[in-house]
Structures are given as structure tokens and as C-alpha cells.
Amino acid sequence: MTTRTRWLRAAVACAASTALALSGIVLAPAAAADQPPAVSGATSTTPSPGPLAQGDVIYQVLVDRFSDGDSTNNDTGNGEYDPSDLGFYHGGDWKGLTNKLDYIANLGVTAIWISPVSEQQPLSKDGNEASYHGYFTRNYATPNEHFGSAAELQQLIDTAHSKGLKMILDVVPNHTADYLDAYATSYSSASYQPAQPLNNANYYHHDGDCRFDGTESQEQIENCDLGGLDDLDQSNQAVSEYLINTYKDWIDMGFDGVRVDAARSIPKTWLRTFEQETGVPSFGEVFVGDVDYVADYENYEWGTLDFPYFFTTREVFSADTDMTALSTLFAQDYKYANPNQLETFIDNHDRARFLTWANDDYQRLRSALAFLMSTRGVPVIYYGTEQAIDGNGNGNEVPIANKDNRQDMTSFDESATIYTYIQRLNAVRAAVPALRTGIQREMWSDQTVYSFSRRNDDSGNESITVSTNSWDTQTRTIPLRTESTLSVGDVLVDAMNTSNVVTVTAGGITGKQITVTLPEHSTAIFVEAGTVSDYTPTHNPTTVIRVHYDVGWGNSIAIRGNAYPFTWNAGRGAHTVGDDVWEYRTERISEGQAFEVKALINDETWQTGGNVTVTGGSTIDIYPTF
């Protein structure tokens, strides 16, 4: 074991022992590796900021889609490189990511979750998709040549650490690429196989492809081929030792945590063993919306990707559904070993972009981000969210997300409105300990307003979050929690818009209360005055289209056009702002840009006459005929 490894594992054991104990996990010394090191001679030269921990904010990067630092590794001649097709390699690599670390660090996040690093089978068996994502593993012990060399990966890790950024490795111990035919117990080709030593058909399950039709058992989930990919048998000692020892070698380069792909498809006891042996906190992908199912996994790993949170939160903030669903969600937090170690998110590489579901409404995105960054758990921000990447307007998720949610990064603008908003959220989290590690307690819940507090009960540090998904301004008088030590007369400011100030007054069921007014689709994070600097969020120029027409009960207005977010193929839904007045607003279109639109009833019946010309950043009233 290297000095670096001893230091890292000692740091994990020291810094995370209490939290891990809450999860029923005890870190054990790793067994000596009996496989050749994955990266011969590679050692970290820069101390880590520490292991993944409560209070971190993770930035998830698809390496291939982020930044191309070396064009010589783009195309190996196997048909896997096509930057015009989202299903193939586009050229992003570790060198490009290293070049953009200041951009990520300036955003204020504390950790980066990168794509799997191992060598890939270039293409899927049918040739319709390349392995740019990292889930078609061929050789676990060697680096993906499209991403660069071991030395370039080490440079990425060391440079990230020097900037205070932790590094999280995406591991794929459930499956290799698809080499074996369904149910086959031998390879049909001597050349089309995984690398040694995993080119042994006895190391795999042979139960055919997974069927997620409601009849599957846990045993079937753990033994079937996910998406046709060959399912490794972790109960086989040779397989288990190889995977653990090979990933140890990668982690010893300086990774501070791991995300386990397809954790639901791996035996839970093996997940625990893997974390104990590799010596860093892990969180698994359990792609299920049921709290009872997901919660048990946190008894075997440090954390778990919080899909129940994702499904509920996305609906509430992107589609204005009943906010009491949040109350139902958080009322189940007692089922988790530690809710503050759940990885929370509003979109990712397997789900459509939030903006696509939110009708490309930047204000909805801001509100969802403020909620994400103030609730319990470790927030995960999907790359490009800060640049308002839109997923090409494609919200399809059957059977899994379309590839439009994996667009290339084309802008690294640190003045972009969503970038600066996330930057501010991270600064507020850094200034308010309760937002990082506080206990979350509900304060208010109704159809359009939800509120909770985060409080460190030892220090008394407290924040109060209030959200609304209404199109109208909302005012509520909200009692403080009995646990709160805020006093009558204390002044609180919304850290995300410090002109919004409230004072604690006497009254209510606990004797103390605040009266809060929120504009439409907004989230306020109230902290004690003087805790944070003054701040007013920036907005892009807003284009407003108002359609005046009586469509009749149960009908609606949509708008199509020739400038994104409008297209001529599908309409953007408008909402009512008064009697027979329908409105759609967008910050997407540049100020002064001329474009054309038309209104439709129910996105089916077109208004008559010619197209209507609109100028970006302006408000236009349309009085159509149909």
C-alpha cells in the first residue's frame, strides 16, 4: 500500500467515521492487491481536500461532451467518432477537463464526478452506439484511450486537488460490454471478448436480458443483463477480487469517492464489501422512486442517489404539481440511515434536462436550483445546467433518456445568468453551516407553497427555505419551529434576493412567526441579516408573447415559431394571466433578435393569416383569429 493510500484511507476513517457508523458501515483495511496495478507508477503528488462528505456539492461531467484538449485521441478508426451524432464520441478528454477546472472551481462546487475511466469496447454490438459514456467496459485495468493517458488522468486529479476540488470516480462493477449472447455460456467469437481475466464465460450470469415489467424479483434484477450488457457474478471470488483490486488501483491515484453504476443490480452485501475494501465513501445508482426500496441501500453504502427526491421535485418545480407531495417525500426521511448523505439532483445523464420539462422557463430552473441547494443531502449539478443547456427540447424518457440530454458544452461563460445564480447558491452554502449539515424540518405545506428549516441543533445556526410554484405572488404567515432559537425582532434576509426582508414577530402556534411574500415560481432562503452579502439575481432580457383569445373551457393556447425555444413542429404551452389572455415568457432569445411565431388552440388549430414577427426582449400582444 502506498503512502498516499494510507493517508487517504486514514483521512476517510477519521473524517467520516461518525457518518459511516450511522450507515452501518465500518471501514476496514484493504486486502493486498493480487492483480497488476491499473496505472503503473502513477501516484498523486497533491494532497486531497478530503473524502466525499456532507456539505459537498458535486458537479457531474460527461468527459466526452465537456472539452476537447487533445484532438489526436478523438478517432481510433473503429467507427466510434462522429461529432455530428450524439450517440458517438465527440472528443472530450481529461486534458480538456483539466483546462476547464478554473471554470468549475469558480462555480463554487466542491467535487467533480467524472465518467468511467476504463478502456471501452468502441461500439455496441449492433454498431448503433459508441462507448463515449463509459459503460461498455472491455478492460477495467487500462485507461480509455479516447480520454487520454494515465499520466493525463493523474494530472487532472492533482490539478483538481490543488484547486480544492474532490474527485469522484464512476465505477461499473455490474457488467462489461455485450459480448455474450443472451443465455449463452460461451463466446461465439475468439476475438470479440473482454480483456483477460474476465474473458471467462463462467464469471457471468446467463439469465438473459432484464425485464422491468413489474414482475421482476430482486434476484432477477441482480442476475439479468442490464440493457443486454454481460452481467458479472460478484459472488465468484475471482470476479470480486479482480474488480475490487483493480478499482483500488484507480482510487489510489487520488479519488475521494466513488459513484457505483447500476447499484440496484449488484448484491447489497458486495456493495458494502466494495466500499470497505476500497476505503472511500461510495454512493450507488438505485433507479427507483420508492423510498422504502431505495432507503435500504444506504445501509450498505455511504450514500445513495436520491431518485425519490428527483421524481417528486422535478414534477413540483417543472410542472407546478401539488407541493404537498414534498411533504409526503420528506416525511419518510426517517427511513434513511442519514438523509444528509443522499445525493440529490434535478436531472442527470439518464434523465431529460430539467429545462426541457420546465417549458424552458429559467425562473422555474432558478427556483428548483435554490430548493436543491438548500434541502438535505449532497446536491449534484449536471454539467451545462449553469449554461442553461436545453436538451434540444426533447423530454422523451422511454425507455431511458434520449441522448439530447448529453449535448456538448459550447459555452463556458462565467457571467451567464444561471452560472452566477449557482455561484451565489454555493457561496451562501459556504456561509451558512445549516445548509450543509443541518437537520431539515417542515414548517409549511399547501398546494402552492412549501417551507422548511435547516438547523444545526448544537450551534443554533438556522436557515429557512420557502418555495412557491404558483404563477401568482404568494404571501404566507409561517410559524417558526419550536426548536428554533430565533427571537421576536430578529431580521432575516433572503440570501437569493436580499431586498426581500422579514422580521420575526410574536404570534402563531409556537409564539414566533414570519410573514413571507414570494413572487411567482421562486425559492427564498432566509438567513439572519449580516450573514451574507447583498445580492440581486440577474436575468436575461425577457421576451413576452401575449395571446388574447377566448378558447373556451378546457382548451389552451400554444405558440410555435422559428427561434428556439420555439419550433414549427411542437408548441410551447402558454398560461393564463387574465380573462382570455395567455402568456409565454422566455429568456432564451437574444435582445433585438427578430423571429416569427403563430398561436394554436390546443397546439392543433393554427391562427389564420401570416406569421407574427417578434423582437427578442420585447412584449407583444397578439389578437389572433382561428
Active site residues: 261, 285
Cα dist from 493 to 496, 535, 537, whole Å: 9, 10, 14
Asked whether the beta carbons of 58 and 112 are under 8 A apart, the reply is yes
To which H or E segment does residue 344 belong?
A: strand 343-344
Q: Within its chain, how far is the Cα of 278 from the centroid?
A: 24
Asked whether the beta carbons of 198 and 239 are under 8 A apart, the reply is yes
Neighbours of 201 (CB within 10 A): 15
> What 3-state DSSP class applies to 42?
coil
Do the strands 612-615 and 543-548 form a parallel or antiparallel pair, or are they unpaired? unpaired
Asked whether the beta carbons of 525 and 497 are under 8 A apart, the reply is no
Distance CA 31, CA 249 (A): 12
Torsion of CA 119, 123, 206, 274, to 10 degrees: 30
The phi and psi torsions of 19 (rounded to 5 degrees) equal -65, -40
For the record, the C-alpha cell of 190 comes out as 475468439
* Residue type present at position 33: A
- ∠ CA 459-463-464, rounded to 5°: 145
Nearest to 546 by CA among 574, 567, 566: 574
